[in-house]
Structure 1
Amino acid sequence: MKNTITKIESFYVRVPLGRPLKLGAIEIPDRHYVIVRIYDEAGNVGTSYGLSRNAPVAEVVHNNIIPIWKGKSLDNHEELYNLTTKANVCLGTNGIFFRALSLFDCALYDLLAIREKQPLYKYLGGESKAIPTMLVGGYPTSNETEETLADEMELYATYNPAGVKIASTTDAFKDGERLRTCRKYLPMSIPLMIDCVWGQTDAKTYAVEVQKWEDLNMKWIEDPFLTDDYENIRYLSENTKIDIAVGDEQSGYLNMLRLMDQGKVNVLRLDATVCGGVRTFIKIAKAAYQRGIPVACHVFHQLHLHLACAVPGVDIIEYMLPESDIESYQRLWDNDLVLENGTFTPTENPGVGTAWNEEFIIRYKE
């Protein structure tokens, strides 16, 4: 089989949102994606996409990754990955470089599975199974009312998800009021989560409010503090009955070990498009499994579904319904998985199995 990498490309696609979002201090007027594609001699193409967070991720792929990989043999991908990491050690093991490397590695594994005519989970040695899904929504808006929040919760309940996650206002008292409203209209059998968008600084004060939520069937509190604030994360973890989940925008194997061992997180959030790619996702997830810490995936459900079927302990993936109008990625492809009884089952198409909407991508390409 022809196994030389002949072409690599990376570019941006900026897709409008139905309404601007606010995530703590982060303003999100649209979704800015990076797409990475890798071609081999036989004409196979591996593709990945992820959020740029308005950082120069595509430029890093062009300047720091393509020169090392173009024209090289796919047989040496493990060696080349390690070389790429070492050649860019001055950029650290976290941040923009690793986001670029992650997307490259995800595209690479898509290509490797396509070449073997296997779905990615099978290429990785996994088995097809239904993976529970949590639905994401509840982003605070200036015109939110109890009725609008109720409508959203009642919609999510019809899908019987493994949980519903809302976004924080960064005001703990207001968050408590909103969580109680959500619980009023969401069956008690469906757990609640809240993404606290790194908005807190004092675990002792925050724990007092969080303890008031313990009767709401909360599955977890996500990202209450900056990710390397191990002391506050550990204090909150040890002083509430609610699990603490951290990690979805972070990268690097050692960094994740510190989160688990020093931060004492109860749930490790992982995103293959950020943490170091498919191979590092697997390595981190195995370390979490050995520690008895469940892994919950961050968006990009098509990719993460395959990984959840290939690695033990990956318990849940998250999804944003098209009708919730808080995500745009559904417009990048022509096919999607079917959400059945709150679960997704992977496609049997080769690779990740995404059929890309090339016309749309060209239209919004930057």
Structure 2
Amino acid sequence: MTSDLDIFVGNTTLIDEEVLQLWLDGHSVSEAVARRLRGGLLDHTGSSVQVLQSDTRDHFRTFQMLERLLHAPPRLLQQLLFQIPPPRQALLVQRYYAFDEALARELLGKKLSKGTRKDLDEVSARVGVSIKSCRRQFDNFRRVFKAVEELRGPLAENIQQLFLLPPPMARDYAAIVFFAFSRFETGKRRLQFLSFGDLAACAQELMDRWTLGALAPEAAEPDGDVPKSFLQDLKELKVLVGDKDLLDMHKSLVCTALRGKISVYNEMEANFKPLSRALVNVGAKLTHARDVRDFFVDLVEKVRDPPHGDTPLPPLWGHPLPPPMGTAPYG
């Protein structure tokens, strides 16, 4: 009796980026082999199908063993079992925690619970991402949320420290966590024109200006908490609606701050009064949980598309907000 045994011996753990992506996308070994064959890999290497199968299977086995370390990336740096150069370690972490923006957009504002995870079959079909990949990405969102929900200080910085993510990716995860904290309604049909990037930019602005971490940095509270006292204070803005002198002062301050910084400055200045009134009315209502949850719905219905009979705002308010200055995509 004879038996075949495939043995791969080496010191440095090899990471094939193509196979890694196939594994992350949720393909089985046989599916990954078929895709590598269609890519003409054998034509370049002169190898056999059997060797390709063994190579793919070995890579998948390695990734599966590494996965438990990727759940807490600092452990990947500290372990001695896998000899992986630091640049490849960073690649593994970034690839593992990268996500499809269409999937993140579907999940924004939803509770990151087991119940939501059970509904991923439908989400997978809508966004065109395999169910295995959807579950991995959802578990990443939930893991990050659980890790930082009780921590004090800026969300993005905490995420970057705990999961060794590059700053742009950490900011995106911070936006996901912020929406999971606040549970803003984002799934309504009228909000579908807003992409994940648009809402992530809004989340960053809210964290920078509205949260306990921004309003009381000495307390070092989490960025995800918007204090009720701050929302109550927004009611005081109602004075801007009926006082012409205050409105003129408000316009002067806003225009001074935005002049030369936004491409639609002229339209904003020309329509400042109806825009200001609509925004003040939305802000003054944010004293009840339901109104806070519908914040983005109200911005669209009452600012972007005001009720019939109100002064229409210029077309620019139908466009998504630009990303915060200084941000850059990760790749």
TM over 0.5: no
Q: Which has the larger share of strand?
A: 1
| Structure with the greater alpha carbon radius of gyration | 2
Q: Normalising by the residue count of structure 2, what TM-score does the alignment of the two structures yield?
A: 0.25
Q: Normalising by the residue count of structure 1, what TM-score does the alignment of the two structures yield?
A: 0.23
